[in-house]
A and B are shown apart, each in its own frame.
Chain A
Amino acid sequence: EAAVTQSPRSKVAVTGGKVTLSCHQTNNHDYMYWYRQDTGHGLRLIHYSYVADSTEKGDIPDGYKASRPSQENFSLILELASLSQTAVYFCASSHRVTNERLFFGHGTKLSVL
């Protein structure tokens, strides 16, 4: 079973502060994704990457940056955290695009105060 590990599991941040969420996968997957989940909105794609040192914008990239320094690691960066970024964030990975299963991490609950 694919393993995707997120850290931290939860975080409280102050408005205007910098937040970095980390994701690590151990299954040699090409694709990695960051989603956020809010009550009433389901999962929405923020950024994704299909190769190290390259990231792509998802559907809601504003206010977020992403970094893929290696195939195993994918970070989500909030340079200036805002109240509206309070949500649960999920990292996922997959081997290839077509009909490949997504493997999700356990999520990071972020509260911005």
Chain B
Amino acid sequence: GQQVQQSPASLVLQEGENAELQCNFSSTATRLQWFYQRPGGSLVSLLSNPSGTKHTGRLTSTTVTKERRGSLHISSSQITDSGTYLCAIGGTGSKLSFGKGAKLTVSP
């Protein structure tokens, strides 16, 4: 099955610094989605980006499908950005495979 590796596993930043999260996957994919999990558990979809570069607010997602990698850039991090960021990969069909997540801590 699809293997999804995220790096780094954890990241500590000071407020205002930028974060770069990586996602590498083992098989051909037509879907890449980024999710945010709040401390306490609920998950929110951030971006769906199958290829190329996509921006929303302070988030930039870049996916290079043929190299089986994606990244999420968070600019000017804020304390409220703290939480876990998950990458999910899917091919044809409805199943998404998730990485283990990257825990981001933003301090004042």
Interface residues of A (CB under 8 A from B): 31, 35, 40-45, 48, 50, 58-59, 88, 90, 92, 94, 97-107
Contacts and interface: CB of A to CB of B under 8 A. Distances in A.
Nearest to A39: B100
A99 B50 contact: yes
Contacts of A104: 35, 42-44
B100 A42 contact: yes
A22 B43 CA distance: 18
Nearest to B46: A101
A43 B43 CA distance: 11
Interface stretch (B10-18, B64-72, B73-81, B91-99): B91-99
Contacts of A88: 41
Given A101-B45, A103-B45, A48 B95 contact: yes
Nearest to B30: A98
B33 interface: yes
A85 to B, nearest CB: 18
Contact of A99 (B31, B42, B100): B31
Given A97-B94, A98-B30, A99-B31, A107 B41 contact: yes
A44 B93 CA distance: 16
Interface string B23-46: 000000011010100000111110
A102 B98 contact: no
A43 B45 CA distance: 14
B108 interface: no
B15 to A, nearest CB: 27
Given A42-B86, A42-B101, A90-B43, A102 B50 contact: no
Contact of A101 (B48, B86, B97, B101): B48
B19 to A, nearest CB: 19
Nearest to B93: A97
Given A59-B95, A104-B42, A106-B42, A98 B100 contact: no
Top 10 nearest A-B pairs (CB, nearest first) are A42-B100, A43-B98, A104-B43, A101-B45, A42-B98, A97-B94, A99-B48, A107-B41, A106-B42, A99-B31
